[in-house]
Structure 1
Amino acid sequence: MTAHAPRQAHVTSTDGTKIAVTITGQGRPLVVSPGALNAAQDWQVLADLLAPRFATYAIDRRGRGASGDNGEHTIQREADDIAAVLGLAGPDAILLGHSYGVLVTLAHALHQPPAAFILYEPPIPLGGPVGGDAIAPFEEAVQAGDLDRALTLGLRNFLRFPEEAIEEFRQTPFWAIRASMTPTWAREMRAMDRFGDDLARFAALGIPTLLVIGELSPRWLTDVSRRLHQALPDARLVEIPGEAHDAFLTGPHALADAIAAFAGGLPCLLKPLREQG
């Protein structure tokens, strides 16, 4: 195994759930909390690009990949999972959240702020419930085993993708993978709707923060990021040209450059950085 090759690890969360982590590379730790329809494997290309400078800890959030699950789901339980992984990665870790995964990282940070934040398009329900009445037909599709229809409904009603974007996505190899992850999406949508729209609670998070948005992302998602940018005291915002909500898959080099540029200006808590393993 080379120094940068991915390796598997597990941590145990507060409620006893085993959480799987894929660790790639060496250098400053970067802990990744994926979105609702993603797992650690979706971040591997980006982790490989970052491997010479970062040790990426990509999490399989509970209920997916190699992680366990618990019947009672809350954002706080997932925040406890983040805390367990950060305990493995060390105090110098940068915490990156994508989409729903940002809500988990924000919930964690309210109790224990990380060294630095990278937040990629959090779906904070500033305009009212994101799931709302659309959750019921989505769940019906999942219970009927029609995961293709469930994904279509979720993209249309939860993320508000235009129909042409959904059809383009349907032609990609990622469609079947995303469809297979839809069974846990409804519970996350409920948690998202309960998250609330109060951005003032994050004003005390004075940690260095990078907000990432895609030029082609749904407008409501980029608007949320812009408003969160105004609420956070030490935040900067970068827009990735020609990319949308999944630049770690479709434009990993551009996202890697943005991460490296941000991290390059951060202080280190540990000098020198201990080797992560």
Structure 2
Amino acid sequence: MSKVISRDGTPLAYERKGEGAPLILVGGAFSTGTAEDPLANLLAPGFSVVTYDRRGRGGSGDTVPYAVAREVEDLAALIEEVGGSACLYGMSSGGALVLRAAAAGLSVPRIAVYEPPFTVLADTRAEKAAYTERLKTLLDEERRGEAVELFLSVVGMPREFVAQMKRAPVWRSFESLAPTLAYDDAVMGDGTVPVERLSALTQPVLVVSGDASPGVMRDAARRTTEAVPDGRHVSLPRQTHDVDPRKLAPVLEEFFTAA
């Protein structure tokens, strides 16, 4: 992997494949750059696709204290590395980060996101604040396994599935990435759709969701689309939050190559 240095000195590990206009893929919770490899391989024939390890993950470094602004600077460094302008695609909480980066003024011609996990339910700010506080306590006390369990319970993972995952090799990877759950939590703000921030975006934004995902996620995708001046929404048939890259890639290709 190649390395680029962010503004605060944090090294970021990234890979670039394909030829064409630059397109940076941004992963969500528990993901390193390799999580986006299947999608990157499908898009590489038409784009110069960049996947990277967000700070605190994989081959990238980390600098404390964390701030969302530092992750925006990370994307700024990658954009500069690939020529000064790049389209962005973000998965889940990576989508929320992409939207923040665009709102911060980075040179981003087009943006696509898949199911950014905002909420459209009645006021959940107190519940979100309680989660943030509990997560911080567990991480401060190095109780990483419990932090992972907390996150999985919040996103609706059944207890029996969590119990099975704890016995699988992937659990160790989850525990190693547990500190970055606080980063994704910070990126999500109070959890609601950031209407004011999104209303300031001037570039085209594509919001994609799966029609087999929970209703709250589909509603959040529509609300996000409505908040963007030039927003458009695509619902993928028979897809969930664990989207099939083969179904997603053609939609992204069409959007990012549109005149």
Q: TM-score, normalised by structure 1?
A: 0.80
Determine if the alignment matches structure 1 residue 31 to structure 2 residue 28: no
Determine if the alignment matches structure 1 residue 238 to structure 2 residue 234: yes
Q: Work out the CA distance in 2 between the residues paired with 1:219 and 1:180.
A: 31
Residue equivalent to 1:275: none
Structure 2 counterpart SS, 1:32: strand
The match for 1:52 among 40, 45, 52 is 45
Determine if the alignment matches structure 1 residue 153 to structure 2 residue 150: yes
After superposition, give the CA deviation of every residue in 1:249-268 in whole Å (9 maximum; x if it has no partner).
xx111111111121231x3x
Structure 1 range deviating more: 193-202 or 10-19? 193-202
Q: Is the 8 A contact 1:91 1:115 kept in 2?
A: no
- The one-letter code of the counterpart of 1:70 is T
Q: Work out the CA distance in 1 between the residues paired with 2:235 and 2:85.
A: 25
Residue equivalent to 2:181: 185
The match for 1:104 among 88, 93, 97 is 97
Q: Work out the CA distance in 2 between the residues paired with 1:166 and 1:262.
A: 36
Q: Is the 8 A contact 1:131 1:193 kept in 2?
A: no
Q: Is the 8 A contact 2:23 2:48 kept in 1?
A: yes
Aligned pair in 2 of structure 1 residues 185, 252: CA closer, same or farther (>3 Å)?
same
The match for 1:118 among 112, 122, 133 is 112
After superposition, give the CA deviation of every residue in 1:229-259 in whole Å (9 maximum; x if it has no partner).
1111222111222222232xxx111111111
Structure 2 counterpart SS, 1:97: strand
Q: Is the 8 A contact 2:93 2:187 kept in 1?
A: no
Structure 2 counterpart SS, 1:193: coil
- The one-letter code of the counterpart of 1:134 is Y
Determine if the alignment matches structure 1 residue 229 to structure 2 residue 225: yes
Q: Work out the CA distance in 1 between the residues paired with 2:191 and 2:162.
A: 26
Q: Work out the CA distance in 2 between the residues paired with 1:169 and 1:216.
A: 23
Aligned pair in 2 of structure 1 residues 190, 210: CA closer, same or farther (>3 Å)?
closer
The gaps in structure 2 that reach 5 residues or longer are: none
Task: Please give the residue correspondences for 1:46-85 in structure 2 after superposition, counting only pairs within 5 Å.
Answer: 46-85=39-78
Q: Is the 8 A contact 2:112 2:208 kept in 1?
A: yes
Q: Count residues with an aligned counterpart.
A: 254
Q: How many angstroms does 1:80 deviate by? A: 0.8
Residue equivalent to 1:4: none
Structure 2 counterpart SS, 1:223: helix
Q: Work out the CA distance in 1 between the residues paired with 2:164 and 2:18.
A: 33
- The one-letter code of the counterpart of 1:132 is A
Residue equivalent to 2:216: 220
Aligned pair in 2 of structure 1 residues 45, 174: CA closer, same or farther (>3 Å)?
farther
Q: Work out the CA distance in 1 between the residues paired with 2:59 and 2:113.
A: 24
Determine if the alignment matches structure 1 residue 89 to structure 2 residue 82: yes
The gaps in structure 1 that reach 5 residues or longer are: 1-7, 268-277
Structure 1 range deviating more: 24-33 or 76-85? 24-33
Q: How many angstroms does 1:93 deviate by? A: 1.9
Q: Work out the CA distance in 1 between the residues paired with 2:254 and 2:97.
A: 24
After superposition, give the CA deviation of every residue in 1:82-135 in whole Å (9 maximum; x if it has no partner).
111111123552111122222222222112251100111112355433643234
Structure 2 counterpart SS, 1:259: helix
After superposition, give the CA deviation of every residue in 1:183-207 in whole Å (9 maximum; x if it has no partner).
2213432442357644033223121
After superposition, give the CA deviation of every residue in 1:202-230 in whole Å (9 maximum; x if it has no partner).
22312121111122333323222110111
Q: Is the 8 A contact 2:129 2:190 kept in 1?
A: no
Q: Is the 8 A contact 1:76 1:104 kept in 2?
A: no
Aligned pair in 2 of structure 1 residues 196, 253: CA closer, same or farther (>3 Å)?
closer
Determine if the alignment matches structure 1 residue 253 to structure 2 residue 246: yes
Q: Is the 8 A contact 1:131 1:189 kept in 2?
A: no
